[in-house]
Structure 1
């Protein structure tokens, strides 16, 4: 800028602030006390303008911002840490707000916009909500350790257990409202094995069901991935695969979001998962994938 327009800009600024910023003599020009106070703040303002422009661009591209992630209790011990680790590596500027919610509450949050991304079980779809497979698991039998519920029948810990052996035993069951997915799956498995489901307690969360088992109140079926964080005093057994149960015994975890989301970080994270997956092996030890390269399978424990 040449001298004349520079002088005019200084005069305009001094008039706006109502004070003189420069002391001028025929020999020199120097800052007044007011000008000396303004100088560092002016530099901060300019720096903030530049930073704001960069931040706005980063948020619009999904490189920065915030995201609310809903997850089930068991997903919080398996899929969620993997998802956060991958996001931290590739999206360090995005902060995550985590909310542990049952699948139905996550779906409500996705519809209302209070949840950006959900890690939930397959439930009845809602208009505008998109989901895709994320991980696969299976159910296993959870029994009180050293329990006589099986009538003294000796069975090696971890050995496959026919569901027929659970016929009419006190069954700790999933809530029909908050955990309908697991409730219906357990009933289908019992029906396939010709076993009567003698339901004595209901709970919406897997940790609560395992607490009932630990207290010796009955048996239940939980995802295999829950074994890693199970309380002491609970034994687990694989479900015997006869009667076609092996094909029926499949537990899915899905990634869901609102297709009208205005959060660029959601789109960026989905692209990241599409391109790189979560790097988890399926129960057979091979890499799992779906047509979009997203699905993987939860570890056996």
Structure 2
């Protein structure tokens, strides 16, 4: 079977039609280059070049083989480059999970980082709630996820990605939406409130429960939902008020007024990166470094 060295030699001679120039191009002397071509012809059982004292010409077989030889060399270079990029984490595939809120708060910056810093890494995206994403990480079905804390499952590694504040979500005609002063946490006492599910949206449920407990207020929970956009839809329908992460401003729900809230801790809503500590995907390590350099 012919070697890549033989192909390089043949292509150089075929393009230069001169053994001396081809040898210079390959940083060789003429005798070893001639031997490479002769070995290639013996391996293939055909004459590829017609040689005279004054000229070198391609035979019909040589002309046909030249195109294939170039393709083989190009494929070889591509395969070598691909393997190098993969070993360095510059190429490959990363399966990335994210929550619905993360889709309009942080996912765009993640995708931008991949496009700009890791253009040869392919992402396989999956949306789910944080508990489902953590289970998928542990099962090996995901490489990386944007999840709400705590991601304290044994085997998972986390790094903080972002923090944001909570805003009051109010029906446009609500008394708190029309007044000049921003609402306070105390204004929600006894107020019909669209709450988050304690199972499917456990993180937001626990954050808001802590907020109300600290402020000693007791809203009237009229519904328990999993997704922020569904909470906003029910607020718009007038079923009650709610608290939503600041990223919800990007949804631009008509009929819903978003206002800052007094009495809240600064940026209480957190989002983490999570991945399995024993995941040896080189592209995963490169992606984590691109998204969260301090991780």
Both structures adopt the same fold (TM-score exceeding 0.5):
yes
Question: Does the Cα contact within 8 Å between 2:193 and 2:222 map onto a contact in 1?
Answer: yes
1:1-301 residue pairs with structure 2 within 5 A? 1=32, 3=34, 6-14=37-45, 20-22=46-48, 33-147=60-174, 155-156=179-180, 159-241=181-263, 245-246=264-265, 250-275=268-293, 292=294
Give 1:52 shift.
Answer: 0.7
Distance 1:132 1:2, change over 3 A: closer
Per-residue CA deviation, residues 185-204 of structure 1 (Å, 9 max, x unaligned), is: 11111122222232221221
Per-residue CA deviation, residues 63-119 of structure 1 (Å, 9 max, x unaligned), is: 222222222222222222222223322222222233222211221222223322211
Partner of 1:282: none
Per-residue CA deviation, residues 1-45 of structure 1 (Å, 9 max, x unaligned), is: 35456434422222xxxxx45487999986554443332012101
Aligned partner of residue 278 in structure 2, secondary structure: coil
Aligned partner of residue 96 in structure 1, secondary structure: strand
Give 1:154 shift.
Answer: 5.8
Q: Distance in 1 between matches of 2:252 and 2:129?
A: 19
Question: Does the Cα contact within 8 Å between 1:131 and 1:254 map onto a contact in 2?
Answer: yes
Aligned partner of residue 68 in structure 1, secondary structure: strand
Length, aligned pairs only: 263
Give 1:209 shift.
Answer: 0.6
Distance 1:69 1:29, change over 3 A: same
Give 1:183 shift.
Answer: 0.5
CA root-mean-square deviation: 2.6
Higher mean Cα deviation, 230-239 or 24-33?
A: 24-33
Aligned partner of residue 246 in structure 1, secondary structure: coil
Q: Distance in 1 between matches of 2:283 and 2:165?
A: 31
Partner of 2:22: none
Larger radius of gyration: 2
Question: Does the Cα contact within 8 Å between 1:171 and 1:197 map onto a contact in 2?
Answer: yes
Aligned partner of residue 62 in structure 1, secondary structure: coil
Per-residue CA deviation, residues 163-220 of structure 1 (Å, 9 max, x unaligned), is: 3322232221212222101011111111222222322212211111111111111111
Aligned partner of residue 186 in structure 1, secondary structure: helix
Partner of 1:278: none
Question: Does the Cα contact within 8 Å between 1:22 and 1:29 map onto a contact in 2?
Answer: no
TM-score by length of 1: 0.77
Q: Distance in 1 between matches of 2:229 and 2:280?
A: 34
Q: Distance in 1 between matches of 2:35 and 2:56?
A: 15
Question: Does the Cα contact within 8 Å between 2:151 and 2:158 map onto a contact in 1?
Answer: no
Q: Distance in 1 between matches of 2:132 and 2:215?
A: 32
Question: Does the Cα contact within 8 Å between 1:116 and 1:261 map onto a contact in 2?
Answer: yes
